[in-house]
Amino acid sequence: MSATTASPWRAYLAVAMTRFKMVLQYRAAAFAGFVTQLFWGFVKVMVFVAFFEASNEVQPMTFSEVLVYVWLGQGLLALLPWNVDAEIAGDIRSGGVAYELLRPLDLYGFWFARTLAFRAAPTLLRLFPMLIFAYWGLPLIGLAEWALPMPDSFASGFLFVFSVTATLALSTAFTMVMHVALMWTISGEGFNRLMPGIVPVFAGLIIPLPLFPDWLQPYLYWQPFRGLADVPFRIYSGHIPVNEALFEIAMQWVWFAVIVVFGYRLLMRARIKLVVQGG
């Protein structure tokens, strides 16, 4: 895996494409996953219907905005950094990484490309059927009141796409941290096992963040995970108005940079550890 001096980007792209194609092959799993996600989308919607029925007070989010959260949450679920690429994990475990660490920038770059594809491919596979179903399928089967609403405005929709791109980058950065963490076998695996527990909560997939108690809101604002779901979803529904959206997207990228630097620093640490301990 030696990057040519000419253009490492070409190599990165090739790696990303290969991973992408591989993931596309597994359509049976994709279909089964889609169906189950449909069900759980229904569950969440019905739970919120019952909650909204019970209260006459004005809530921080309208039912329509919650619907956006639920369906986009299902569609973009695979985007979240809750698991690692088994191939990379295998490479680390087998020790093949030792050589690559001699050129950590290349390694980070290659892994980043692979991870990007690892996050993007199943997401795309899942997203479009889910969107189609949530927009058009639901009204067709008589559940129009649960259908995914259109973006709040043309600008909202547009900015949503930008935000999701930032989410992809941010999620890849997080996943990279998880990959690097695996170099410390026991603690790394422990840490990675925490992620699927923490991430959905702070991203807003368990409960939409605005619905958490008021006193928690400031804390929920200053954490990077909200860029993984809360930000793009609320941009879409207009809960984050257009004039704030640009700032939020910028924040996503800021967190992205922070996590990338953190991940890279961690990789350098791993390299030192390897040199000192001999792996």
Partner 1 sequence: MANAIGLYFRLVSQSVRAQLQYRLSFVLTSIGGFVTTSVEALGVWALFDRFGMLGTWHLAQVAFLYGLVNSAFALSEALARGFDVFGKEFVKTGNFDRVLLRPRSTVLQLAGHEFLLHRVGRLLQGLIVLSWAIYVLDIDWNIGKALLLIFTMVSGVVFFYALFIFQATLSFWATESLEIMNTLTYGGVETAQYPLAIYRRWFRRFFTFVVPLGCISYFPTILIFGIEDPLGTSAVFQALSPLAGYLFFAGALGFWWLGIRYYTSTGS
Partner 2 sequence: MPQIFVENLEKRFRVAERKAGLWGAFRGLVHRHYRDVEALHGVSFSIEPGELVGYIGPNGAGKSTTIKILSGILVPSGGHCEVNGLVPWKNRVLHVARIGVVFGQRTQLWWDLPVIESFELLRDIYRVAPVDFTRTADELIELLELSPLLDVPVRQLSLGQRMRCDLAASLIHQPDILFLDEPTIGLDAVAKLAMRSFVQRQNKERGMTVLLTTHDMDDIEALCTRLLLINHGTLLMDGTVKDLRSDERRVLVDFESVPQLNAEHAAFVREQDGNRVTFRVTGRVPEFIADITAHYRVRDLMVEHPPIEETVAELYRKGGR
Per CB under 8 A, 24 contacts partner 2: yes
Question: Minimum distance from CB of 229 to partner 1 (Å)?
Answer: 14
Q: Say which residues have a Cβ less than 8 Å from residue 232's Cβ, sequence separation at least 6.
A: 72, 76, 160, 163, 164, 166, 167
| Span interacting with partner 2, options 23-31, 43-51, 188-196, 207-215, rule CB under 8 A | 23-31
Indicate which of partner 2, partner 1, none lies near residue 278 (CB less than 5 to 8 Å, by partner kind).
none
Residue among 20, 225, 233, 236 that touches partner 2 (CB under 8 A): 20
Per CB under 8 A, 17 contacts partner 2: yes
Per CB under 8 A, 243 contacts partner 2: no
Element (H, E) at 192: helix 185-203
Per CB under 8 A, 184 contacts partner 1: no
Nearest one of 1, 248, 213, 207 to 101, comparing CA atoms: 1
| Span interacting with partner 2, options 13-21, 68-76, 185-193, 225-233, rule CB under 8 A | 13-21
Between 72 and 91, how does the x/- string for binding to partner 1 read (CB under 8 A)? -----xx---xx--x-----
Backbone angles phi, psi at 81, to 5 degrees: -80, 70
CA-to-CA distance for 171 and 155, rounded, in angstroms? 24
Indicate which of partner 2, partner 1, none lies near residue 144 (CB less than 5 to 8 Å, by partner kind).
none
DSSP calls for 134-154:
IIIIHHHTT-GGGSPPPPSSH
